[in-house]
Amino acid sequence: MPLPFTVSAVDPGSRARRATLTTAHGRIETPAFMAVGTRATVTGLTPVDLTAMGAQVVLGNTYHLMLRPGPELFRRVGGIHNFMGWSGPVLTDSGGYQIFSLPGDRTLTEEGARFRAYTDQRIHLLSPERSIAMQTAIGSDIMMVLDVCVDSRSDATTTRAAMERTHRWALRSLAARVTDQALFAIVQGGVIPELRRESAAWLTAHPFDGFALGGLAVGDARPEREDVTNLSAELLPADRPRYLMGVGTPPDLLHAILAGIDMFDCVLPTHLAWQGTAFTSTGRVRLTRGPNALSDERLDAACECPTCRTASRAYLHHLFKCSEPLGARLLSVHNLHHYHALMADARRAIEAGTYASFASATLEAIDRHEHSDRRLGQVAS
């Protein structure tokens, strides 16, 4: 049965769209950012925290969850929702990116990827069938096909071979599905327009519930990423969700929404929080820098998250200098609140028919030095 997906508004000045995706564990209002819960936890945060900050979906990592705690535990407890105490929708990736990130410890063949596990040093096989079996045990609402990810700077021959294997693995993943869990295919092709067109055409001829763009933010520059996203999104069906995998910063999201992307995930909000970096309405703030040591300012004057309401920049600076984990937790709360609030603002702007101007104004408010190359005109219709 197709995954219920309804587009309710399209911005007249761009391809940005407002939609609703309905899963067994609730609705997802898009555009939506998915909090990354790699090991069945968004680092340092509870499900109560996630609900309070406006999180709609949690993303789990098939590779890590396969190695620990493994499929049998998920089958015994009834899936990831019961295991982690999260009642909302869950999307699981397939493990393809993790295999890509282990070049010295894996061997790729048509069968799948053999790799040495960091948990027990044993050799494991991750095939399309095993990836789907693991995601079935996890019980996610949306599963991803196993794909082959390569550096976006790879030559055309290497990129084509990875794309074509991704296509073959996508059909094997589709054949392995035995439940009504949704399954998304992944468009590959690096930064080569002809390959992206070919991949989109091939995959959209098959009955997948949604389509993702993979293989970006792995060596490409922002202008290349924006061009590929803009091109690829237009090639995907209007009646199914579009997901940009592993990207990115607030400007990345704003640009991709202009192109018609619905769903996003990225580890940056929590990863950088643990390094002392916050995303704010005027750009990034590094709390560990000296000027914050005596600052009574709020982290972000435009934010109403618990961190901004209660903690000064000086206090956050102090926590990081003392290596107190509370600092990382408070910044994680803020960063994810910032991302979810940005998505909510985007949804309202699309409904009002003002998203193109909203995106332009928001990008102007973000650190001009960090994000000087905006090129909005190239992604607006």
- Domains observed in the chain: 5-266 (3.20.20.105), 273-367 (no CATH)
At residue 260, the pLDDT reads 98
At residue 367, the pLDDT reads 56
pLDDT in tens, 60-77: 999 999 999 999 999 999
Give the C-alpha separation, 51 to 68, whole Å: 25
> Does residue 97 carry a pLDDT above 70?
yes
Say if residues 66 and 126 touch (Cβ distance below 8 Å).
yes
The yes-or-no answer on residue 265 being catalytic is yes
Whether the model pTM is above 0.75: yes
Q: What is residue 162's three-state secondary structure? A: helix
DSSP single-letter state for residue 55:
-
> Does residue 182 carry a pLDDT above 80?
yes
Confidence of residue 362 (pLDDT cuts 50, 70, 90): very high
Tokens of 347: 């949804």
At residue 1, the pLDDT reads 60
The yes-or-no answer on residue 239 being catalytic is no
At residue 29, the pLDDT reads 98
Mean pLDDT of the chain: 94
Q: What is residue 377's three-state secondary structure? A: helix
When comparing pLDDT for 245 and 372, which is higher? 245
pLDDT in tens, 312-324: 999 999 999 999 9
Confidence of residue 249 (pLDDT cuts 50, 70, 90): very high
CB atoms within 10 A of CB 322: 9
Alpha helical stretches, state H, the chain: 47-52, 62-67, 71-77, 80-84, 96-100, 128-138, 156-176, 193-203, 222-235, 250-259, 268-273, 306-310, 313-321, 325-352, 355-365
> Does residue 95 carry a pLDDT above 50?
yes
Give the C-alpha separation, 354 to 352, whole Å: 5
Say if residues 251 and 374 touch (Cβ distance below 8 Å).
yes
Q: Which of 93, 147, 227, 300 is catalytic?
A: 93
DSSP single-letter state for residue 59:
E
> Does residue 134 carry a pLDDT above 70?
yes
Confidence of residue 103 (pLDDT cuts 50, 70, 90): confident
Q: Which of 49, 220, 252, 265 is catalytic?
A: 265
> Does residue 155 carry a pLDDT above 70?
yes
Q: What is residue 211's three-state secondary structure? A: strand
At residue 370, the pLDDT reads 54
| Nearest partner of 147 among 202, 100, 90, judged by Cα | 100
Confidence of residue 375 (pLDDT cuts 50, 70, 90): very low
